[in-house]
Amino acid sequence: MKIWKKGSMDKTGSLSLLVVIGVIMAGLFAPLLAPHDPLAVQMSLRYAGPSWEYLLGNDQLGRCILSRLIYGIRPSVLAVLVVLLFSVLIGAVLGFAAGYFRGRIDTWIMRICDVVLSFPGYVMTLAIVGILGVGLENILIAFVLTKWAWFARVIRTSVLQYTEQDYIRFARATGMRHGQIIRRHVIPVTFADIAVVASSSIGAMILQISGFSFLGLGIQAPQAEWGMMLNEAREVMFTRPEMMLPPGMAIVIVVSAFHFLADSLQVALDPRLRQSGVQHDRQPEHKEVPVRL
Amino acid sequence: MGMYMIRRIVFAIPLLWAISLLTFVLINLSPMDPAVVVLQAQGVPVITDELIARTQQQLGLDQPFLVRYIHWMADCLQLNFGNSYITGQSVWLLLGPALVNTLRLTLVSAVSIIIVSVVLGVICALQAGRLLDRSMRMLAFILTAVPSYGLAALLIWYFSVRLDWLPTSGMESYRSYILPVLIITISYAGLYFRNVRSSMLSNLNKDYVLYGRASGLPERTITLHILRNSLQVAVSIFCMAIPIILGSTVVVENVFAWPGLGSLSVRAILSRDFPVIQAYVLILAVSFVIFNAISDMINAAINPKLRNGL
Amino acid sequence: MPKQIPLLLLLMLMAATVLSACSPAGQSAANTTASAHNNELIYATAKDINDMNPHLYAGSMPAQGIVYESLVENTSEGIKPLLASSWDISKDGKVYTFHLREDVKFHDGEPFNAEAVKQNIDAVQHNKEKHAWIKLSTKITDCKVIDEYTVQLTLSEPYYPTLSELSMTRPYVFLSPKDFKNGETMNGVSGYHGTGPYVLTAHEPEQSATFEANTSYWNGTPAIRKITAKVLPAGETTFLALQKGEVNFAFTDDRGADSMDVEAMKQLEASGDYRIVRSESMNTKMIVVNSSRSGSPVSGKAVREALWHAVDRKTISRDIMGGTETAANTLFSSNVNYADIPLTQRSYDLTKAGTLLESAGWKMDPASGIRSKNGTPLTMTLYYDSNSSSQKIQAELIQSAAATVGMQLKLTGEESASIANRRATGEYDLLFNQTWGLAYDPQSTIAGFTSGSAYLHTTQGIPQAKELYSKIDQVMTSLDEAKRKSLYADILNIVHDEAVFIPVTNGNITVVAPSNLQNISFKQTQYELPFESMSFQ
């Protein structure tokens, strides 16, 4: 937190942050921002080009593409953030428990993490969608089920790193309660690691969700979702190539913004990286590489 | 090293067991009664409760969970995954060839990824902080943000239709590999080349380099040394990439009509062909564990320090 | 240094694996483009040909149609000879005697004779439950060899659609008895040798299947020497492959899904390389309603009627189908036998739909915009074929119209096989479907009302179900034309009245073919194309 105030984030980072915040806001206030009802069908405007009333034109059912793009932020981006929040919460609780208390709790939690992480995320997602049926909710459930273990691990590592430090040993020795120590001393410092890890996986998750929608396994009509909009556009890509542009650009811009943001956060929050003259990429702490679909 | 391999293999066993259990539980979560499904597959026109009960008995579905699990395991170990609900064919006969096709695509892509990321990683490391490095990294970020299906459609249109160089889809000749491999490479090389770059960078700052420079060794010799050390990273990336690509070819396979596991699994999901879904999950998860174990072993062989990790 | 050696070996090993993995696929590099070949058609199909066993239902019907043949053929002029050159029907309508062609051989060289016919028909009858949808299977009691080329079929009672059911693409078609497993076909077969104009010569599952002209075909070797079915995802992949010449033929599949949208086809036609040929109206595309699903709003007649009024057929026909299909207001269009009867028309009328729902007790909840009755919300799921882009757009159009009167439709796209399964098990509220085509309408489609694998769930929830089924039984066995006419009128009136089949458009088969391909014609069924009569200019 402090680091942002110091302004140590580079320009790309700040710009990305602005884009990300803007998109999140647009998603939250979609009903206020969207010029039209995203579901309003008007066959007379089928595939109409951009006009003053419909800035990005209309789709195959004459619905306003701009409004659908704005409402599409909800399943495409906000849903990912919610999933991330849940995974971080579960991961944080277990990671803190493991790293702070050590011993048998630690061993057990880490074993479970190993098992979950050895079950590839995409296969888990396909399995859950295959058995519970297609739909966005099932994909989100699968995401939470697979992502938490990764966070638990990262958080445990960073907790371990900090609990070894003298001031926490001291706090423990003075008889501070566990909860207090975790709240006052451990959470603030591990927060940086969580932020870096979380932000770096958002981009891949957004792409995955849109990939599943693209395959017809994700969100179902008529709800607007970027991957599905892209899929609908793909069906007419040679007769109306311009239809690919709005959802395609939206995905590229938002995902790159998250990538750049994660990169800047990593540099800004990791003192080791800041000191050395050239930017390093941190070696992955864990083998999990965000899976692209 | 021998000890490490044994430990690594022993470690994989509980994982495999957990995967089988998890898969079995997942099947049991399926909303359809397996007995009803079997009756349907046999085309029985009117399914009565009595018939269901009888079939359940025949299939051993009335037995306790553990007994069913053991029977199921025994079948799976013999590659007997039952028959597809849709085509009635043996699931293994469907999945086996598809697995081979997916493995082919995966291996070729992994090789391509490793070449691209080593070349780019080395160039960027040598140019670290300069314009070329910065713009390469930025480009990598943007390219990895492009949804692969959108990119694929564009490339097919350009290379296959406009230029008429490559086939649009299918798996007919070596030329069929070019576009899918290119797409997968673009998606992943952006991630991996950063690893190569940073390992090169940390090598650049190491003592032997500084010493070599100080004692006047030719720059070429030093670069060769650095490259050799970075080769380790390359191999470890190669090993790590295989299991990850293996399961994430779903979209690419679907766009290019590649007759692999990815296409098969999506089709199975959309036709609610549970035996196929089940076997797909099991086979991929098992290959994932196996490839991971192999990759760990190779990494440990290269870098003895890692052997203590387990 | 020694450390590097294993590493190097390892890399070489990996490289070798990769190379060897590629090489088998590399061999067939030569035959990628289709356009260069004459007398060859390569058609795009979204689904593999699958199991070609003609006595089961997994295979692709157009593919089975060119490999196997039936005793008789259904044409626009009525039943014509095929493998049987003539036949006699006993006075009581129970005994059919077929005189077989004597110049027919199976693709494996086995002779086609009365014994082969008997073995095939027996094999089908041994798997009776599976064929229950085709009523003939419940009527055949015996199949007897009279002499080498004469065979006799005995029925338990007269059944007037016998010949037309024998003409169907399956199951009463003939496979070389050598391919049988233990004298049966129900547990799989060892080969796919029929008597048809084309021989299946190669099959790469999920990739392609190759059929070559049968040079000893009894009706002369077909002009098109080779047909390849190539599995391609529908939509722009097929479009690109056509544009590039990797495939040169595409047609509406056996479940009624077109591989491309209307505009893409027009673009291909405009290029001059392709021509588009459409058959006359073959069937009715419709939404099938599961009247027997208790707890679902669709079990109520008012909801079904309201839904009927919420389908804007004119817009679907004009905008979504680009004028290629006409709006349908009844289950069978009036040119179908026995179907030219007056039925009240339910037009696109949302006000009417709202009134119907209101008076049936479905009250609007202003907060959610969804009606409900006794706590049950007016929510239904409509299944569409995920390979058909037009079905999805139609579904969304209907969904949005229905929403304005407080009906919530959920849409789920699935593969056609899964939708067929749902139809058979009754796990659906609404699904897209089509009547079975000129050769099958109305008798077989109506017989399907009583069949579990077809429309039993659709029809059994209506109050007059018993009456309906008994009328169907009567009409099939009746030998009196006037009586049949009145029975059909009653049957069609009942299902129309109960609104269990909501018609949308009249469908046809669309063929995209090279512009120099001649003699493109259609059969009386939407499941097959007469490739054997086509030729290049």
Which residues of A, range 221-250, sit inside 8 Å of B by Cβ?
A: 227, 230-231, 234, 237-238, 244, 248
* Residue corresponding to tokens 């990294």: B137
Chain-chain contact of A222 with C411 (C-beta, under 8 angstroms)? yes
Query: What pTM does this model have?
Result: 0.85
Interface A:C, Cβ pairs < 8 A: 55
Query: For position C8, what pLDDT does the model report?
Result: 43
User: What is the rounded average pLDDT of the residues A172-180?
Assistant: 74
Query: For position C217, what pLDDT does the model report?
Result: 94
The distance of A69 to chain C (nearest Cα, Å) reads: 18
Query: For position A8, what pLDDT does the model report?
Result: 55
Query: For position C295, what pLDDT does the model report?
Result: 87
Name all chains with 3 or more CB-CB pairs below 8 Å to chain B.
A, C
Query: For position C106, what pLDDT does the model report?
Result: 96
Chain-chain contact of C424 with B104 (C-beta, under 8 angstroms)? no
Candidates B45, B264, B272; nearest CB to C453: B45
The pLDDT tens digits for C351-369 are 999 999 999 999 999 988 9
ipTM above 0.90, yes or no: no
Which residues of B, range 71-90, sit inside 8 Å of C by Cβ?
A: 85-89
Tell me how crowded residue A187 is: count the other CB atoms within 10 A of its CB.
15
CA distance A275 to C181: 76
Let me know how long chain B is: 310
The distance of A52 to chain B (nearest Cα, Å) reads: 28
CATH of the domain spanning C21-59+196-279+509-536: 3.40.190.10
The distance of A191 to chain B (nearest Cα, Å) reads: 24
Q: How far is CA C451 from CA B37, B45, B275, B279, C459, in A?
A: 18, 7, 27, 32, 10
Q: Does C411 touch chain A (CB under 8 A)?
A: yes
Q: Does A255 touch chain B (CB under 8 A)?
A: yes
Say whether C283-507 and C21-59+196-279+509-536 share the same fold. Answer: no
DSSP-derived secondary structure letter, B83: B
Q: Using a CB-CB distance cutoff of 8 angstroms, which residues of chain C are in contact with residue A240?
A: 263
CA distance C203 to C211: 9
The pLDDT tens digits for A19-40 are 999 999 999 999 999 999 998 8
CA distance A17 to A267: 14
With beta carbons less than 8 A apart as the criterion, state whether B91 and B81 touch.
yes
Q: Does A215 touch chain C (CB under 8 A)?
A: no
In a domain, A158, yes or no: yes
Query: For position B306, what pLDDT does the model report?
Result: 59
In a domain, A112, yes or no: yes
Q: Does A220 touch chain C (CB under 8 A)?
A: yes
The distance of B18 to chain C (nearest Cα, Å) reads: 30
Q: Using a CB-CB distance cutoff of 8 angstroms, which residues of chain A are in contact with residue B284?
A: 120, 123
The distance of A33 to chain B (nearest Cα, Å) reads: 26
pLDDT band at A223 (very low <50, low <70, confident <90, very high): confident
Per-residue pLDDT for chain B (310 aa), expressed as one digit of tens each?
Answer: 677 778 878 878 888 888 888 888 877 776 667 777 666 665 555 566 777 777 777 777 777 888 888 888 888 888 888 877 777 778 898 899 999 999 999 999 988 988 898 888 888 888 877 888 888 888 888 888 888 888 888 888 888 877 888 887 777 788 889 899 999 998 888 878 887 887 777 777 776 677 777 777 787 777 777 777 767 777 777 777 787 788 778 889 988 888 899 888 888 888 888 888 888 888 888 888 888 788 778 777 776 665 654 4
Which residues of B, range 230-269, sit inside 8 Å of C by Cβ?
A: 231, 235, 238, 254-255, 257, 259, 263-264, 267
In a domain, A260, yes or no: yes
Q: Could you list the residue range(s) of the whole structural domain that residue A97 is in?
A: 72-275
Ordered by start, the domain boundaries in chain B are 97-271
CA distance B286 to A166: 44
In angstroms, what is the C-alpha Rg of chain A? 22
Q: Using a CB-CB distance cutoff of 8 angstroms, which residues of chain B are in contact with residue A114?
A: 15
Long-range contacts of C344-350 (CB under 8 A, 24+ apart): C344/C496, C346/C305, C346/C308, C346/C309, C346/C499, C347/C309, C348/C309, C348/C310, C348/C311, C348/C312, C348/C313, C348/C314, C348/C401, C349/C309, C350/C309, C350/C310, C350/C401, C350/C404, C350/C405
Chain-chain contact of B254 with C29 (C-beta, under 8 angstroms)? no
Candidates C6, C15, C451; nearest CB to B301: C6
Q: Does A131 touch chain C (CB under 8 A)?
A: no
Ordered by start, the domain boundaries in chain C are 21-59+196-279+509-536, 69-179, 283-507
Q: What amino acid is encoded at A128 in this protein?
A: I
CATH of the domain spanning C283-507: 3.10.105.10
In a domain, A130, yes or no: yes
Q: Using a CB-CB distance cutoff of 8 angstroms, which residues of chain B are in contact with residue C460?
A: none
Chain-chain contact of A293 with B251 (C-beta, under 8 angstroms)? yes
Q: Is the peptide bond before C171 cis (omega within 30 degrees of 0)?
A: yes
Q: Which of B130, B197, B248, B255 has the most A C-beta neighbours within 10 Å, making it the best mutation to test the interface with A? A: B248
Pairing state between β C408-414 and C379-385: parallel
Which chain C residue has its CA at the smallest distance from A47's CA? C319
Query: For position B181, what pLDDT does the model report?
Result: 92
With beta carbons less than 8 A apart as the criterion, state whether A227 and A76 touch.
yes
User: What percent of chain C has pLDDT above 70?
Assistant: 93
Q: Does A80 touch chain B (CB under 8 A)?
A: no
Which residues of A, range 97-126, sit inside 8 Å of C by Cβ?
A: none
Chain-chain contact of C263 with A239 (C-beta, under 8 angstroms)? yes
Candidates A46, A221, A222; nearest CB to C319: A46
Chain-chain contact of A235 with C235 (C-beta, under 8 angstroms)? yes
**Helix (H) or strand (E) segment spanning residue C365:** strand C363-365
Q: Does A238 touch chain C (CB under 8 A)?
A: yes
pLDDT under 70: residue ranges of chain C: 1-37
- Class of domain B97-271 as given by CATH: mainly alpha
Q: Which of C248, C310, C287 is nearest to C385 (CA)?
A: C287
Q: Does A261 touch chain B (CB under 8 A)?
A: no
Q: C465-477 and C481-498 helices cross at what angle (nearest 10)?
A: 150
The answer, yes or no, to whether residue A190 has pLDDT greater than 90, is no
Which chain B residue has its CA at the smallest distance from A132's CA? B30
DSSP-derived secondary structure letter, C309: H
Candidates A60, A221, A236; nearest CB to C395: A221
Chain-chain contact of C397 with A61 (C-beta, under 8 angstroms)? yes
CA distance A221 to A135: 10
Q: How many domains is chain A built from? A: 1
Higher per-residue pLDDT: A102 or C4: A102
Which fold is adopted by the domain C69-179? D-Maltodextrin-Binding Protein; domain 2 (3.40.190)
With beta carbons less than 8 A apart as the criterion, state whether B289 and B222 touch.
no
The answer, yes or no, to whether residue A101 has pLDDT greater than 60, is yes
pLDDT band at A214 (very low <50, low <70, confident <90, very high): confident
The answer, yes or no, to whether residue A272 has pLDDT greater than 60, is no
Candidates B15, B22, B141; nearest CB to A256: B141
Q: Using a CB-CB distance cutoff of 8 angstroms, which residues of chain B are in contact with residue C51?
A: 87-89
DSSP-derived secondary structure letter, B215: T
Q: How far is CA B225 from CA A12, A174, B99, B204, B213, in A?
A: 35, 52, 39, 10, 12
Let me know how long chain A is: 293
Mean confidence (pLDDT) of chain A: 81
User: What percent of chain A has pLDDT above 70?
Assistant: 88
Query: For position B46, what pLDDT does the model report?
Result: 57
Q: Using a CB-CB distance cutoff of 8 angstroms, which residues of chain A are in contact with residue C401?
A: 41
Query: For position A1, what pLDDT does the model report?
Result: 45
Chain-chain contact of A43 with C410 (C-beta, under 8 angstroms)? no
pLDDT band at A286 (very low <50, low <70, confident <90, very high): very low
CB within 8 A of A256, min separation 6: which ones? A16, A203, B141, B142, B145
Q: Using a CB-CB distance cutoff of 8 angstroms, which residues of chain C are in contact with residue A60?
A: 393
pLDDT band at A283 (very low <50, low <70, confident <90, very high): very low
